[in-house]
Amino acid sequence: MNAPYHAPPRASFRQKLGPGGAVSLALALLTSLGLLGLPVLFRLRQVLRGAHGEEPVASDAILVLGRKLEANALTPVFEARLAHAEGLWRQGFAPRIIVAGGTTGTALRSEAEAGRDWLLARGVPGGAILLEDRSQHTLENLFNVRAHLRGQGWRTLLLVTDPLHLTRAGATARGLDLEVRCRPAPGCPPLAGTLRWWGRALQEAFLLHWYHTGMAYSRLIRSERQLERVT
């Protein structure tokens, strides 16, 4: 069997889709429109409920999901994720932090490298920081981290991202059979309740609907090539 598809560095949107991605996106759009937006509203409720996250427990590692760099620098959202991961590490919830994210957009370094440098500047020792620096999106973040966890014999993760991203990230992780506790990073922009915040919430709701549509479609047609990327 061939290795699962991975998007190349600085991948375009089309390259990120991978096998079956365009069809599942079309199905997600058609079902959203055909059912008058009800699937997205259903997922929106899940996004809002999941934004509160779960209580942290002792785990093998803390995973910080990457965020696209702007002008080769961290965004406030990425910094907030890293700061929360650092806090969990200092409280002793896990002995190591994994920073995920490849080279995206016009950046000259990977998201993971930028995150590592931020943590090092805050006094986290290099030996406590691991990188996943090949991925182009959330699914690849988690897929690649799973391979590393299995190689090390680790099982449990504290998954750190911004609150509105948490439900989709958690669903993707559990679809990959990862044992995760989801932790929302406080202080992530946009400000809760603003128009930008609601726009982001609706975007995440659609992306969550797309994820579940893609899973259902892959299982329906029994596509091993598609399922090997998401399960």
What's residue 88's pLDDT?
98
Exposure b/e, 32-60, CB count within 10 A at least 16 = b: beeeebebbeebbebbeebbebeebeebb
State pLDDT tens for residues 169-208.
999 999 999 999 999 999 999 999 999 999 999 999 999 9
- The CATH number assigned to the domain with range 52-184 reads 3.40.50.620
Amino acid in the structure at residue 219: R
Place of tokens 């995920």: 100
What 3-state class would DSSP assign to 83? helix
- pLDDT at residue 226, as a whole number: 87
Give the C-alpha separation, 16 to 5, whole Å.
9
| CA gap 102, 187 in Å, rounded | 24
Which stretches of the chain drop beneath a pLDDT of 70? Answer: 1-2
Strand partners, 64: 99, 160
pTM of the model as a whole: 0.94
Determine the pLDDT at residue 4.
81
Are the beta carbons of 141 and 132 closer than 8 angstroms? yes
Longest dimension (CA), the chain: 52
Which residues have a Cβ under 8 Å from the Cβ of 31 and sit 6 or more positions away? Answer: 39, 209, 213
* Encoded amino acid at 82, one letter: L
From residue 136, give the alpha-carbon distance in Å to each of 23, 140, 153, 181: 20, 6, 25, 23
Distance CA 149, CA 183 (A): 19
Specify the DSSP element, H or E, that contains 26.
helix 21-34
pLDDT for the residue 2: 65
Rg, C-alpha atoms of the chain: 17
8 Å CB contact between 99 and 66: yes
Determine the angle formed by the axes of helices 76-90 and 111-121, rounding to 10 degrees: 50
